[in-house]
Structure 1
Amino acid sequence: MRLAHAADIHLGHRQYGLSQREVDARLSFQKFLSQARKHDADAILIPGDLFDSRDIRPETLQQTENILEDVQMSVIVSPGNHDENMSRRRSLTWLQYLNNRGLVTLLSGDLTTDRASFAPTDTDDPRKGGGGYVDLKRDGELVRCFGLQYRGAYIERDLPAVTDGIQAVNDTEVEPDVTILLAHFGVDDAVPDLGANISRSALTDLEDLVDYIALGHIHKQYESGTVAHNPGSLEAFNIKEGRWSDEHGYYIYDTQTETADHHLSKRRPYVTLNFDVSGFRTFEDLRAEFEDEVANARTDVEDTCRRSIYRDGTGGRRRPLINLRLEGTLLLDHATFDVETLTDIIEEELDALYTQPTNHTERKAVQELLGDLERNEAFNPDGTVNTDALQDRVFTTLAGESRYSGETDAVADTLDRTEKLVNKNNQSTVEVAEFLRERRRELFPDGQGAEDDEEVAE
């Protein structure tokens, strides 16, 4: 038996507010279904986030129904975090609606007791609910698919109960030839920096019982151990995902050969352009250099757009999404640094669908103030200034240049604590004044700065 496994479809998602990006998600899904047919798949596995939102637009639902009505194989889904809310469950979700219409088989477990419960699916009457597992049969082979809904931070705690629940079903019913679990979580050994939910060791007992874990949730392709597979989303939905050029797609799992082959999905191209703003004292000079660099980048952009996975259904060019990454030391002030003009140049010269700028520049004044601080201390991971580090350097500079330079570090610490009293603890001026008096007495017992007490009191 062959099973086609995709996840994180996010139908209805309008990235950057663009209706074309919603169309892209739908086209990628349709292309995946078409490829599944070419691979002679017997069923489709979608472990979470078929939809981008629990409140999808009516036209999104209608288009999804039209797509699924044409699928000539079982479509088995489990809920992801975008499909339903863990804390406020609705009496009817859109996945349940599609299940009730017979367009998908929705699987999820009952985790209200110490051992998870997986009810059988009544395939003759889908309106009774998808249940917790469904049996697929072909040429004498029995494949049993279990579904687990998104559990967030609770998933690692729940996995032993899930393992016990699967074992209980297989002990009670006919032993399947192959056992599969659909689930929506990440494994930290493979993607430690992408919000994974469980440790690698938490999968050990489950791996002894299950032949294939069809994962979703993380939009980057990875495998963990021998049975856990995550295909990555079909489309890239942000700049970071766009850089994972060969890590989006789907799996074809062959139960006879016990092999899982990853295939790249058709999607819109993402390209990152880097531009260093250092050294330019007028925007006109910066713009002229920028236009030259964009022109020089055209060949590389077109080479990317020519890759087969990025072409449209007729083999034509798809307009790329561009990430303009601005870096270096900015000498211009914000009033003259016209980023919108730069994005317009890209969209015109490279025929881009959309350009998303990310600003990793450093202001000259800030850079001088931060001095010899290490970059990872002075700046946050997203490129913005670490205001705590900046504030500390400001206070240290002020203290060192004042008449209190003999106690520079202590005075800087006092300024920092004073700022927190005012802005974070909402202390009154009387309480702040008393704190400053006490600190003066501690640091300058000889009376230095006593005149400041009078100014504070006033």
Structure 2
Amino acid sequence: MDIRFFHLADVHLGNFQYQNQERYNDFAKAFGDIIETAIAEQVAAVVIAGDVFHKRSIDALTLYQAKHAFSLLKAAGIPAIVIEGNHDKAHYRDAQVSWLNFLSWSGDLILLSAINAGSELHFAPWSSESKQGGYYDLPGGVRIYGVPWYGGSTAAIIERVGEALRRMAEDEAQAGVRYRALMLHTGVDGVVPNLHGLPTRTQFDPLRGLVDYIALGHVHKPYAFDDWLYNPGSTETVSAEEAAWKRGYYDVTVRLDDASGAPLHTARHVLNKQRPFLRWSFAVDDLASPEVLLARFTAWCAEHAASADRSTQQFGGPPVIDIALTGTLVFDPGALERRALEDVVRRTMPALHVLLRNLFNAVDFDPASSELDGRNEATRQELELRVFRDLLARDARYAPTAEQWAKVVAELKGHALGDDEPAAIAAWLREAQQRLTTLETAE
């Protein structure tokens, strides 16, 4: 006898990403596609290891999206077995009642949570009357245990989970349990750099021999260890940095009648349909002015338009375009017209949303490197001129006459701090600009 279930996590319904309605819809569509597949394949259960929602306070449409999807499963006779993730947990002010609690009480899903009784955890059977419990039994002797998000305490909780499962041995034998899966909303330390506070791989070892499949959530990158620990990744792209990860869900088949006498499983990672993110880098080195950069960027976008067109055709809608501006910018970053660059992308290729990230370097003036002391009135003006000159010199438009422009800026400061009329200052500045432009042309 084979029992088949889907394991997914980190659905993040209600994520109004980039304040874009289509991205909001994408998260519901990704979830809906998996639910439709589960119904078509007539799996025994859909197991969700936390973060059904993107945030603790959801709106009515997000609740409808969740309730509709779970109602389809219920109508097909497929239980949705869920634990709370950190995004699902209720606010303290809400008396610890989350929206997953509401859906559980409404009969839309089975929300599992071990009972935390001081120094011990206890697993109680799911009750259809109280809508509470720490485990749920599927046909054939497959038992699903659930432990919600515990944050930084997870490593210690795992040891207590092991103790609780050892106490369940007699109950499992009496109930004819032949295969055990455990849902945990946590990850494994080191899988994603700079994601800290997670248990190490060896800290899961107290569960060895007590459960056959550990269904993880929380980390959006898919991974598996030892045919035992499984994390499917998120069902949609929650952050652009995750776009390269092949995320989806696990299609798990448990072979209860294996000839060896020991139930075995196969877990196939399935990539569900997700809106594509196209991530590129554009080098700003040696582009001497905003005008030159804009012209080069326009040509570069034209070269990449075919990729965006293909992506649109394959998915059935435009991708999110993510462009990192890299290298060294040789003019003032304040002169970079981001809106103009974004408009170029939208005119050149199909794009649901455009992300422009400033990852370039700019040469900054370091006053600490100067031998001049700004606290000394005798040298303050000289230091001021040097600061102006060095700032102007790093902008390719002013570098050839940075010394002269520095004097103009210093004099402009004096006019501004004096009693000169704004119109007179503007006229003086136009005259100075014309004079220096003539000088640059002559050179």
Which TM-score band (shorter chain)? 0.7 to 0.9
- The answer to which of 29-38 and 210-219 deviates more is 29-38
1:449 matched residue in structure 2: none
Q: What are the within-5 Å matches in structure 2 for residues 78-97 of structure 1?
A: 78-85=83-90, 90-97=95-102
> Equivalents in 1 of 2:82, 2:242: separation in Å?
23
Instruction: Quote the residue 2:120 is aligned against.
Output: 115
Residue equivalent to 1:286: 293
Unpaired runs of 5+ residues, structure 2, are: 256-263, 375-443
Note the aligned Cα RMSD (angstroms): 2.0
| Worse-superposed segment, 344-353 or 262-271 | 344-353
Give 1:4's aligned residue. Answer: 6
Q: What is aligned with 2:241? A: 240
Aligned to 1:215: 216
Look at both structures and tell me which one has the larger radius of gyration over its CA atoms. 2
Partner secondary structure for residue 278 of structure 1: coil
CA distance in 1, matches of 2:204, 2:367: 49
CA–CA distance in structure 2, aligned partners of residues 50 and 75 of structure 1: 11
Aligned partners of 1:190 and 1:224 also within 8 Å: no
- What do residues 237-295 of structure 1 show as CA deviations (whole Å, max 9, x unaligned)? 11101122xx2100011111510000001111101121111112221211111111111
CA contact (8 A) 1:145 1:181 kept: yes
> Cα deviations across residues 136-159 of structure 1 (Å, max 9, x unaligned)?
11xxx1111111110000000111
1:263 aligns with 2:286: no
Structure 2 length normalisation: TM-score?
A: 0.77
CA distance in structure 2 between the partners assigned to 1:36 and 1:269 by the alignment: 23
- Tell me which residue corresponds to 1:414: none
Matching residue's letter, 1:14: F
**Residue ranges of structure 1 left out of the alignment (5+ in a row):** 312-316, 370-392, 404-458
Question: In 1, distance between residues paired with 2:156 and 2:143?
Answer: 24
Supply the distance in 2 between the matched residues of 1:133 and 1:87 (Cα, whole angstroms): 25
Q: In the TM superposition, what is the alpha-carbon distance from 1:97 to its structure 2 partner?
A: 0.7
Per-residue CA deviation, residues 413-440 of structure 1 (Å, 9 max, x unaligned), is: xxxxxxxxxxxxxxxxxxxxxxxxxxxx
Q: Residues of 1 paired with 2:191 and 2:290: CA distance?
A: 44
What does the per-residue CA deviation read over 1:327-378, in whole Å, with 9 as the maximum and x for residues that have no partner? 1111222342101111111122111010111111111x32xx5xxxxxxxxx
In the comparison of the two structures, how many residue pairs are matched? 359
1:33-432, aligned counterparts within 5 Å?
33-71=35-73, 72=76, 73-85=78-90, 90-123=95-128, 125=129, 128-137=130-139, 141-173=140-172, 174-195=175-196, 197-244=198-245, 247-256=246-255, 257-307=264-314, 311=315, 317-363=316-362, 365-366=363-364, 394-395=367-368, 397-398=369-370
CA distance in structure 2 between the partners assigned to 1:207 and 1:161 by the alignment: 13
- Contact kept, 8 Å, 1:86 with 1:151, in 2: the verdict is no
Identity over aligned pairs, percent: 30
1:195 to partner: Cα distance: 3.7
- Other-structure match for 2:16: 14
Deviation string 1:428-455 (CA, Å, 9 cap, x unpaired) is xxxxxxxxxxxxxxxxxxxxxxxxxxxx
SS in 1 for 2:327: strand
State the secondary structure of the residue aligned to 1:357. strand
**Could you list the per-position Cα deviations for residues 2-42 of structure 1 after superposition, in whole angstroms to 9, with x for gaps in the alignment?**
01011100111100111211100000000011122333311
Do the aligned partners of 1:4 and 1:253 also contact (CA within 8 Å) in 2?
yes
SS of structure 2 residue aligned to 1:217: coil
For 1:268, give the aligned amino acid. Answer: R
